[in-house]
């Protein structure tokens, strides 16, 4: 009788371990830090675990599935360090997902792999979802973004990062978050936690990929007044497809706002591509955008020129 009971106990134990398996976690060897030492402001951790909300009916990207991470109430950042060369540049990455989920691999870990290959340190932010934005509807995601930039600046020495070459890169809602941080860096949206919050959370540059919420469709695509572009907004690279159902006007309007504020900006509009392709290569030219970003980073002197010199970003 003891043997069947032992087998049953083993099966129950395996089922419990399987049920407790995280919906997503970084691969081994990457440092992960909580954004908030005592919990995120104004919220308490969910009683339900994080979950991959992807179903069999969801679309594939470049023939492959993706993780749609939901129920994130404990935000973190994960450090991805270049393996072979380190230029000193760093990019903080915000996956998209409509402020409902995070496309954590398509617009997160896969992006870090690319950035590391270019000698750039990647910091992947798992910010709170759902209902955490857009700002000012909710300030939660922008609080996480502000805190993340401060944490990165507090670790520049040990992470071998140039404090003048720290940028942001976001997709869709994450692109809006990158733009929101680019225009809301002068004052924290939360009470100071520690010395980290005394450091600047202004990005030195921004990459905005198929953004949403930057123009108001209900007002003939007027600029979003909650994204107040000014001359201190960082230089920005913007890319979107003309057939994007989220509306290409988001990219165009934001570019014009940057131009009017005399902020260096580069805009790439492609005929086809729709939305949510990340950097998975297809036959469509829009999926070559990462190569254009690398070229742009060289022109800003974020990445070294051919002679190897690398003056600080301005």
pLDDT digits (tens, 9 = 90+) for 69-98: 999 999 999 999 998 899 999 999 999 999
DSSP string, 80-134: E--SS---S-EEEEE--STTT-EETIIIIIHHHHHHHHTT-EEEEEE--BSS--S
Domain assignment present for residue 277? The answer is yes
Instruction: Tell me the per-residue pLDDT of 91-146, one tens digit each, with 9 for 90 and over.
Output: 999 999 999 999 999 999 999 999 999 999 999 999 999 999 999 999 999 999 99
Q: Which residues contact 179 (CB under 8 A, 6 or more apart)?
A: 170, 206, 208, 211, 214, 227, 236, 254
Strand partners, 222: 216
Element (H, E) at 171: strand 166-171
Average pLDDT over residues 255-269: 98
11 part of a folded domain: no
Q: How far apart are CA 165 and CA 253, in angstroms?
A: 26
Go through the chain and tell me how many residues it has: 314
Please give the structure tokens belonging to residue 288: 């070559």
DSSP code for 64: B
Distance between CA atoms of 105 and 112, rounded to whole angstroms?
9
How far is 78 from 66, CA to CA, in rounded Å?
A: 19
pTM, rounded to two decimals: 0.90
Domain span at residue 65 reads 31-299
Assigned domain for 285 exists: yes
- % the chain with pLDDT above 90: 83
Residue 172 to residues 11, 12, 184, 213: CA-CA distances in angstroms?
A: 42, 41, 18, 9
Residue 1 is assigned to a structural domain of this protein: no
Residue 233 has pLDDT above 50, yes or no: yes
CA–CA dist 12, 10 (Å, integer): 5
Rounded Cα–Cα distance for residues 69 and 23 (Å): 7
What are the DSSP calls for 47-61, one per residue?
A: SSPPEE---TTSPPB
Which structure tokens are listed for 250? Answer: 């988001």
| Coil/strand/helix, residue 289 | helix
Q: Is residue 210 part of a domain?
A: yes
- Distance CA(313)–CA(136), nearest Å, equals 30
Q: Is the pLDDT of residue 235 over 80?
A: yes
- Residue 14: the pLDDT is 42
Would you say residue 242 lies in a domain? yes
Query: What digits encode the pLDDT tens for the residues 2-31?
Result: 444 444 444 444 444 344 567 899 999 999
Q: Is residue 19 part of a domain?
A: no
Helices (H), 186-307: 249-260, 289-299
Give the integer Cα–Cα distance in Å for 152 and 143: 14
Residue 199 has pLDDT above 60, yes or no: yes
What CATH number did the domain enclosing 140 receive?
Answer: 3.40.50.1820
Q: How many domains does the chain have?
A: 1
3-class DSSP state of 253: helix
Mean pLDDT of the chain: 91
Is cis: bond before 94, omega within 30 of 0?
no
Query: DSSP letter at 234?
Result: P
Per-residue confidence (pLDDT) for residue 309, from 0 to 100:
56
Q: List the structure tokens of 216.
A: 């108001």
Whole-number Å distance between alpha carbons of 189 and 252:
28
Q: Is 5 a member of any domain?
A: no
């Amino acid at each position: 009788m003891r043997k069947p009971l032992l087998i049953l106990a083993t099966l129950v134990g395996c089922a419990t371990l399987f049920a407790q398996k995280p919906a997503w976690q970084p691969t081994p060897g990457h440092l992960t830090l909580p954004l908030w030492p005592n919990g995120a402001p104004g919220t308490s951790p969910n009683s339900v675990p994080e979950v991959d909300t992807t179903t069999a009916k969801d679309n594939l990207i470049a023939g492959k599935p993706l993780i749609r991470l939901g129920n994130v109430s404990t935000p973190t950042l994960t450090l991805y360090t270049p393996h072979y060369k380190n230029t000193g540049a760093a990019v903080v990455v915000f996956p998209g997902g409509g402020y409902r989920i995070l496309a954590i691999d398509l617009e997160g870990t896969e992006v870090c792999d690319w950035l590391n290959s270019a000698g750039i340190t990647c910091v992947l932010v798992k910010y709170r979802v759902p209902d955490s934005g857009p700002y000012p509807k909710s300030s939660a995601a922008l609080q996480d973004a502000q805190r993340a930039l401060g944490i990165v600046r507090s670790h520049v020495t040990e992470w071998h990062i140039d404090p003048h070459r720290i940028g942001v890169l976001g997709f869709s809602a994450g692109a809006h978050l990158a733009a929101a941080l680019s225009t809301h860096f002068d004052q924290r949206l939360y009470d100071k936690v520690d010395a980290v919050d005394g450091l600047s959370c202004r990005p030195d540059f921004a990459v905005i990929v198929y953004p949403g919420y930057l123009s108001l469709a209900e007002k003939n695509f007027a600029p979003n007044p909650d994204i107040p572009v000014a001359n201190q907004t960082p230089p920005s690279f913007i890319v979107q497809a003309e057939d994007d159902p989220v509306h290409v006007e988001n990219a165009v309007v934001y570019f014009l706002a940057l131009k009017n504020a005399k902020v260096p900006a580069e805009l790439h509009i492609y005929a086809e591509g729709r939305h949510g392709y990340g950097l998975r290569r297809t036959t469509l030219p829009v999926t070559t955008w990462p190569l254009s970003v690398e070229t742009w980073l060289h022109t800003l002197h974020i990445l070294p020129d051919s002679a190897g010199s690398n003056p600080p970003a301005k």
